Amino acid sequence: MNKIVDKVFLSEKVVQMDIEAPDIARNRKPGHFVIVRVDKKGERIPLTIVKSDLEKGTIRLIVQEVGVTSGKLIDKEVGDYVLDVVGPLGKATDIKKVGTVLAAGGGVGIAPLLPIVEGFKKAGNRVITVLAARTKKLLILEKEMREFSDEVIIMTDDGSYGKKGLVTAGMEEVLKREKVDEAVVIGPAIMMKFAALLTKEYNVHTIASLNTIMVDGTGMCGACRVTVGGQTKFVCVDGPEFDAHLVDFDEMLKRLNAYKDYEVKAYEQFLKNRKKQTA
């Protein structure tokens, strides 16, 4: 049982939550995630740890409501409990001093990107960050990103903030004008696929943090398996970060849809119930 000690809406459907988890906070490094189960009948889902506070013994999670479980989590208030939180899981980001790092975050992918940007900056790199969202009100963590980036480029699909265009346009602007030593891309799978194709053209080593379906998160079921460089890897123990140029994104995109019909129906029912409760 982990208590929620702080909750902030970053946008209409994106919530930042601080949860009591002193052991996780102590051993957590950038790139690590937790598996969360909201209640006894709930699912287990992975969420990246955005930061940890050793003094308070808390970890910060950023959740976007996309279905039942994220919806249940967002509906929790400060003082409520999350039934199960386990971590820190996965391999920590391999942070090293390389020179210039191009970081690109799409939508809620910006949340897991923040600790990595912070890590690379603190390691002495020049960090150029491209943040992308569909529209201005969905853009999160701009202030925090500016704190750890030498430059921030903002892209929105509708042009309501920053430049109009996709994240790849912002990335290409940088790749064209200067030498980049390493790239990190986090966001929806389709975004990471195209971002990786772009950096491959410029021969820049790129890390992607994959967000597959997970159940246990400790390597015992294989639900999260992806093909990387022709080999099967488990995102929960071999990842979540991999060489983006070796990841079979098409296969990953297909696998993400494994329970699509069920998820849509369940979410519709959840929204109906929520309406009834708040009525």
The count of other CB atoms within 10 Å of the CB of residue 49 is 27
Length of the chain counted residue by residue: 279
* Interaction of residue 246 with another protein, rule CB under 8 A: no
Q: How far is residue 37's CA from residue 221's CA, in Å, rounded to a whole number?
A: 17
* Interaction of residue 42 with another protein, rule CB under 8 A: yes
- Output b/e per residue, 9-35; b: 16+ Cβ within 10 A: ebbeebbbbbbbbeebbeebebbbbbb
* Interaction of residue 75 with another protein, rule CB under 8 A: no
User: What contacts 81, CB < 8 A, 6 or more positions away?
Assistant: 1, 2, 3, 4
Residue of 135, 203, 257, 273 that binds another protein (CB under 8 A): 257
* Interaction of residue 69 with another protein, rule CB under 8 A: yes
* Interaction of residue 232 with another protein, rule CB under 8 A: yes
* Interaction of residue 222 with another protein, rule CB under 8 A: yes
Q: How far is residue 5's CA from residue 79's CA, in Å, rounded to a whole number?
A: 6
* Interaction of residue 215 with another protein, rule CB under 8 A: yes
Residue of 218, 268, 271, 273 that binds another protein (CB under 8 A): 218
Q: Which is nearer to another protein, 24 or 133 (CB)?
A: 24
Residue of 5, 7, 74, 86 that binds another protein (CB under 8 A): 86
* 3 state SS of 110: helix
Q: Hey, what amino acid is at 230?
A: G
Q: Which is nearer to another protein, 175 or 236 (CB)?
A: 236
Residues in 2-41 that interact with another protein by CB under 8 A = 23-24, 27, 37, 41
Residue of 74, 169, 197, 237 that binds another protein (CB under 8 A): 237
The CB-of-40 to another protein minimum distance in angstroms stands at 9
Please provide the DSSP assignment of 250-270 as one string.
HHHHHHHTTTHHHHHHHHHHH
Kindly state the helix (H) or strand (E) to which residue 69 belongs, with its residue range. helix 68-75
| Contact footprint for another protein (CB under 8 A) | 23-24, 27, 37, 41-44, 68-69, 83-89, 215-216, 218-223, 225-227, 232, 237, 251, 254-255, 257-259, 262-263, 266
